[in-house]
Each structure stands twice: as C-alpha cells, then as structure tokens.
C-alpha cells in the first residue's frame, strides 16, 4: 500500500461511522432524560422529610416573642402571644393576598390595598372587602427549642402553643 492509498472504511473495525455516532448520542440523551425523570418522579413519590411538601420555616425561639403581636420579617406571618400562649396568624389578606399590617394603636390588622380590617383577637373581618378572617396557621416547638410555622397548615384559634 502506498502512502497515498487510504484503507477502505469497512476494513477499519474501530472507525465510528457518523450515523452510529449520532445514534449513540440520541440514545445517550434518552438515557439521561429517563434518569432525570426517575429522580424527579421519585422525589414526589418518596419525599425527603417535610421540605418538599411543606412550606414550614423557623421563626426563632419563644423568648423572642413578648406579649402582643410581632411581625416576622419577610415571612408574612405574625406571632401573637397572650396569656394563653403563642399563635401564628397569617399576614396574607384573604381578599386579594396583600400583606396586612398590625396597627398597634388601633389594636387591629389593616390591609393597605383595599382597606380590609381584621379583629386583633379573632382575626375576623371587621371592615372592607375581605371574604373571611385571617388564617391561624400551624405553630410548633421543635426539639431544639425553635419555633416552626407552617402557613400551609391551617389551625383553629383555640390551638395555642404553651411556650
Ligand atoms: S387585598 Fe386586602 S383588602 Fe384587598
């Protein structure tokens, strides 16, 4: 064989033909897609802890909350302490979802968007267009002494955390 002659392609068993290469890429991509689907699907079927299914977050310790109403910055929730204990009240207005304010000198929650007003103790609507009162939501004391709020879990006002 002279230097100018090239072996025929079919004589070289290690040569990867373009069609085979592209087919391999396609099957590889399908394999990656199947693996991703399995992992993502598995996360829904077997969630790890509550993190994937709940909106729970920690809000410090009970001693951070004196008697009265304390807004938790950035969390859209109030921690309310009275003689009975602690409660968590959602700051999400039941009209169109604005964040309500606690107006201490009036002793009521007020929505800045359309003027709904909510009773301090019951969260009931006392004015404005809101269709129902503010939600009381789950508040729990964890083993490490921190408080956990889960705004996706509604509770009744009678559920008080003694802490
Ligand atoms: S969103 Fe609160 S009154 Fe409309």
From the alpha carbon of 129, which atom of ligand 1 is closest?
3
- Listed by start position, the domains of the chain span 14-46, 57-155
- Asked if residue 161 lies in contact with residue 84, where contact means CB atoms within 8 angstroms, the answer is no
- Asked if residue 122 lies in contact with residue 136, where contact means CB atoms within 8 angstroms, the answer is no
Local structure of residue 132 (DSSP, 8 states): S
CA 37 to ligand 1 center in whole angstroms: 40
Local structure of residue 92 (DSSP, 8 states): B
- CATH 2.102.10.10 fits domain 57-155: yes
Give the strands of the sheet with 68-72, arranged side by side.
Answer: 57-58, 147-155, 136-141, 85-90, 77-82, 68-72
> Of 86, 104, 99, 72, whose CA–CA distance to 159 is shortest?
86
Quick: pLDDT tens for 49-85.
334 447 899 999 999 999 999 999 999 999 999 999 9
How far is residue 109 from each of residues 19, 29, 121, measured CA to CA in Å?
A: 69, 55, 10
Position with higher pLDDT, 129 vs 43: 129
**Is 117 close to ligand 1, i.e. is its CB under 6 Å away?**
no
Residue 163 has what pLDDT?
Answer: 87
Paired tokens of 3? 């230097």
Entry pTM: 0.68
**Is 128 close to ligand 1, i.e. is its CB under 6 Å away?**
yes
Residue 24 has what pLDDT?
Answer: 60
For residue 20, what pLDDT band results from cuts at 50, 70 and 90? low
What residue has token string 């269709």? 131
**Is 101 close to ligand 1, i.e. is its CB under 6 Å away?**
no
Q: Collapsing DSSP states into helix, strand and coil, what is residue 13?
A: coil
> Of 19, 121, 44, 47, whose CA–CA distance to 78 is shortest?
121
């Amino acid at each position: 064989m002279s230097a100018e002659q090239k072996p025929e392609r079919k004589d070289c068993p290690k040569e990867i033909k373009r069609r085979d290469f592209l087919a391999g890429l396609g099957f590889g991509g399908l394999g990656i897609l199947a693996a991703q689907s399995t992992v993502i699907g598995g996360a829904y079927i077997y969630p790890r802890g509550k993190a994937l299914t709940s909106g729970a977050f920690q809000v410090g310790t009970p001693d951070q909350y004196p008697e009265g109403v304390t807004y938790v910055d950035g969390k859209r929730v109030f921690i309310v302490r009275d003689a009975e204990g602690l409660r968590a009240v959602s700051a999400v207005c039941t009209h169109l979802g604005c964040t309500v304010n606690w107006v201490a000198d009036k002793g009521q929650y007020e929505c800045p968007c359309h003027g709904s007003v909510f009773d301090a103790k019951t969260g009931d609507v006392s004015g404005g267009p809101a269709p129902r009162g503010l939600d009381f939501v789950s508040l729990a004391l964890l083993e490490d002494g921190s408080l956990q709020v889960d705004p996706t879990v509604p509770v009744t006002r009678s559920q008080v955390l003694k802490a």
